[in-house]
């Protein structure tokens, strides 16, 4: 089945220790997104790629970076995680602009 896969599902890191979350997709969608979701809130878009073009949201902290080496994979790097970065991180893909996004299961990040 075509899907969006995120690894790991749960990640524990220490304050200030860099962490990388990964996302892969078998849908061959050209747009990939990274969201942060905190409890009882809507997903908050961090950035997205349209093919290789990177689009950063204005309020995304510099602490968050992303890489998309090819169509199928996308990574979220948190350079120096703080306690406030503990959240669910969601990867999503879409085939085209202005249509539905398909979400992965998410990675729950805990910062100690």
Partner 1 sequence: QQQVKQSPQSLIVQKGGISIINCAYENTAFDYFPWYQQFPGKGPALLIAIRPDVSEKKEGRFTISFNKSAKQFSLHIMDSQPGDSATYFCAASNQGAQKLVFGQGTRLTINP
> Using the rule CB under 8 A, is 50 a contact of partner 1?
yes
> Using the rule CB under 8 A, is 109 a contact of partner 1?
no
Q: Which residues are 21's β-sheet partners?
A: 76
Q: 22 vs 79, which CB is nearer to partner 1?
A: 22
Give the shortest CB-96-to-partner 1 separation in angstroms.
8
Helix, strand, coil percentages in the chain from 3-state DSSP, rounded to 5: 5, 50, 45
Q: Where are the beta strands (DSSP E) in 38-104?
A: 44-50, 53-56, 64-67, 73-78, 87-94, 102-103
Residues of this chain that bind partner 1 (CB under 8 A): 4, 31, 33, 40-43, 45, 48, 50, 55, 90, 92, 94, 96-106, 108
């Amino acid at each position: 089945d075509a899907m969006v896969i995120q690894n790991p599902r749960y990640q524990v890191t220490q304050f200030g220790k860099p962490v990388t979350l990964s996302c892969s997709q078998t849908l061959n969608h050209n747009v990939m997104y990274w969201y942060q979701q905190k409890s009882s809130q809507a997903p908050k878009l961090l950035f997205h790629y349209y093919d290789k073009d990177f689009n950063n949201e204005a309020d995304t902290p510099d602490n968050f970076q992303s890489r998309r080496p090819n169509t199928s994979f996308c990574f979220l790097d948190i350079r120096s995680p703080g306690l406030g970065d503990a959240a669910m991180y969601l990867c999503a893909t879409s085939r085209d602009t202005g249509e539905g996004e398909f979400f992965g299961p998410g990675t729950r990040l805990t910062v100690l």
